[in-house]
Each structure stands twice: as C-alpha cells, then as structure tokens.
A and B are shown apart, each in its own frame.
Chain A
Amino acid sequence: QLQLQESGPGLVKPSETLSLTCSVSGGSIYNYYWSWIRQPPGKGLESIGYIYYTGATNYNPSLKSRVTISIDTSKSQFSLKLSSVTAADTAIYYCARGRALFNYWGQGTLVTVS
C-alpha cells in the first residue's frame, strides 16, 4: 500500500523559508505526478503545485514567485520550499500523488508561521 509522509519544521518565522519533504513508500515514485496542497486551519483546500518524476513542475500562479518543488527519485522523496512566508501561509500542508486528482495523501503536517 502506497504511503506518503510529510516531514519538516512545524514553526517557521515570518520572512523565512518553509521547507517540507514528502517520503514515498510502498510504491514507485517513477511515472507519477506528485503534488503539494495546503489547508489553512478551518478553511478549504488550496493547490500549491506539482512535479513529475522527471523534474518538470507547475505551480499555482498565486504562489509561483515563492514556490520551488523538487524531487529526489533515488530517495523516493519530493520537497517543497516556500519563501518569504507570512502568517497567511500558516496551514496544514499535504503531499499527494497525482497532478490534479488525488487518491493517495499524506496525513498532513501543520506549519505555523510566527
């Protein structure tokens, strides 16, 4: 059974860079798209962006200037960096398999900007 696990700091200071990693186990990272999605506390879901196993990326235009998603196929991991964070970036961050339709999700990790 495919499993995804987010990891990274739960607290980030304003203006700094948020960094998260998603570890994929129980299945191959190859031949799939991998995404990051976030959810501010008590609010709805927002796309951040995705990466193909080849390294091709696409980002939400509203975050594009601050987002970098990368992948390390040798480690079966992909990562998110979000720069210049503010309190508005406080959210649960999910990693998921897929470009736009998601049937496998990580459990999510809360990142607070303060």
Chain B
Amino acid sequence: ELVLTQSPGTLSLSPGERATLSCRASQSISSSYLAWYQQKTGQAPRLLIYATSTRATGIPDRFSGSGSGTDFTLTISRLEPEDFAVYYCQHYDNSPMYTFGQGTKLEIK
C-alpha cells in the first residue's frame, strides 16, 4: 500500500518568503499522477497542481511543483497572506483508489 509522507508537519514563514513543501512516496510513482491541494480553514480543498507540475486553472504562477520517483516538492516562490493554509499531496492513477498525504500546515511566523 502506497503511503505519502509530507514534511515538515508545520512550516512557519513570513509573507514574502519562499516555501518548500515535501511529499515522499513509500514507492516510486509516476510523475503523471501526483497532485497538490490547498485547504484553508473551514473550506474545501482546492486543486493547485496536477501531474507533478501543471497548475490548475486560475492558480497563480508563484505556485510550482516538481519531483520524480519518490520525492516531490511544492514551492511557493513568494508567500502572500492568503497562502497560509494546509497543503496536501495526493497520488492518483488508473487504479480504483487514491492516497492523500497527511498534510503540511503553513503558518505565519
């Protein structure tokens, strides 16, 4: 069973700084099937990135994704106040089910 481990659990940064969030898979996965979501308090998750590096519609270009094999990264180049939230990575493929990581909380320092 695939497990996605996100690190750090909590990341404390200031607006304007660069954020780097990690997602590590317990086995090698295709980069075609790795996504990132943002969830603000009291809201549903929002799709940010799919296929490792493709931004979803309307997502600002300060969000970028990269990685391959077992190690994937979400980078926010310059944090805006509205970026502080919880971020989840997700593996999805043609199999019936999918897996989320446990999340990284990005908080204001």
Contacts and interface: CB of A to CB of B under 8 A. Distances in A.
Interface stretch (A9-17, A21-29, A78-86, A99-107): A99-107
Given A47-B98, A100-B98, 19 more contacts: A44-B88, A44-B103, A45-B90, A45-B100, A46-B100, A47-B97, A47-B100, A61-B97, A99-B92, A100-B97, A101-B92, A102-B45, A102-B47, A103-B47, A105-B45, A106-B44, A107-B43, A107-B44, A108-B44
A19 interface: no
A47 B4 CA distance: 14
B46 to A, nearest CB: 8
A60 interface: yes
Interface of A is mostly: loop
Contact residues of B: prevailing secondary structure: loop
B29 interface: no
A64 to B, nearest CB: 10
A60 B96 CA distance: 8
Interface string B52-70: 0000110000000000000
Given A103-B47, A105-B45, A58 B101 contact: no
A94 interface: yes
Given A61-B97, A100-B92, A100-B93, A44 B45 contact: no
19 contacts: A44-B100, A44-B102, A45-B88, A46-B100, A58-B96, A60-B97, A94-B45, A96-B44, A99-B92, A100-B92, A100-B93, A101-B35, A101-B50, A101-B92, A102-B47, A103-B47, A103-B57, A105-B44, A108-B44
